[in-house]
Amino acid sequence: MRKILVTGALGQIGTELVLYLREIYGNLNIIASDIAPKGPEKVLKAGPFEIVNVLDAKRINEVVEKYKPDVIIHLAAILSAVGENNPALAWNVNMYGLYNVLEVAKSNGCAVFTPSSIAAFGPSTPKDKTPQDTIQRPTTMYGVTKVAGELLCDYYFYKYGVDTRGVRFPGLISYEALPGGGTTDYAVHIYYEAVKNKKYTCYIKEGTYMDMMYMPDALNAVVTLLEANPDKLIHRNAFNITAMSFAPEDIYAEIKKIIPEFTMDYNIDPIKQKIAESWPNSLDDTAAREEWGWKPKYDLPLMTKDMIEKLSIKLK
Ligand code: VAH
């Protein structure tokens, strides 16, 4: 049975991924870790939790020697908008954190899954149906760390045989844990505001398309790629995956079908808008579909229905 250490386990992805993995592999086989024990009780209490700062290689090694996981899922990272406000922090956490995890994995025979992002592309990348293999000249520090991270993971596979795997996540939408400082966060906050206040002020301009995905599809992608036959993986790290591409007016219209009184206006955040415009409008995820059977279940209508149902209960 797999034993998995998750870093950044109390973030937007980590919170749901730990619960999902514990259902599949058993509570005691999933070790959640984060920089501080500040998160949902059900993650902290239902299985092992360890305080790990990914900048402390010794501490990562200590936890790996204690639990002997065969996989490290490395999620701890600084996202795009926070990273643009503090590029040094983003470089340190995203690069040295990943380097430490790869070094510990190499010494302990662990596989490593770590996500890249659509942020690994930049303004010179083909914007529509962005190919799996194409120009990657991102103009954000977050994007720079994601491209460097993809290359570092490839290096540890080719040079040391570390089984590294990863996907380029689009914006992720979920109702459990709020996102932590990304550019795509508007697509989460709009649902909360629609349910709570029936109005939302969007910081991304009308007509700005970005790839997005509902969290259940993201969780399924992690496990499917983790369990995929390695002989079939040509790309290994940083598979393009997506489920939908929409602009603010599209998600607004979908919510309005369920909450007719919902209204939205705009107050553009220039930094986040510039980041969003540097990313693709839509990805080509053929490689993931062909090499490990990637297939999303949720489109915008299905996601909107589920998000509003779940948030109507959560925010009661
Ligand atoms: C961000 N949610 O906005 C993250 C993600 C594709 C975007 O990497 O920074």
Each residue of 159-171: pLDDT tens digit?
Answer: 999 999 999 999 9
pLDDT higher than threshold 90 for residue 179? no
CATH number, domain at 252? 3.90.25
The best mutation among 78, 80, 174 to test binding of ligand 1, ranked by most ligand atoms within 8 Å of the C-beta, falls on 80
What is the CATH number for 67? 3.40.50.720
Task: Give the integer Cα–Cα distance in Å for 306 and 311.
Answer: 8
Q: Which domain holds residue 14?
A: 4-170+215-240
User: Which residue in 3, 8, 12, 19 sits closest to 65, CA to CA?
Assistant: 3
Q: Is 184 in the pocket of ligand 1 (CB under 6 A)?
A: yes
Tokens (6 digits) for 70:
């065969």
Same domain, 69 and 10: yes
Interatomic CA distance for residues 120 and 88, integer angstroms: 18
**pTM of the full structure:** 0.96
Do 21 and 96 sit in the same domain of this protein?
Answer: yes
Do residues 226 and 275 both lie within one domain? no
Residues 8, 140: one domain? Answer: yes
CA 119 vs CA 62, 235, 245: distances in Å: 32, 18, 15
Of the residues 20, 142, 186, 214, only one is catalytic, namely: 142
Q: Tell me the per-residue pLDDT of 203-226, one tens digit each, with 9 for 90 and over.
A: 999 999 999 999 999 999 999 999
Q: What percentage of the chain has pLDDT greater than the value 90?
A: 96
Task: Find out whether the beta carbon of 141 lies less than 6 Å from any atom of ligand 1.
Answer: no
Instruction: Name the domain count of the chain.
Output: 2
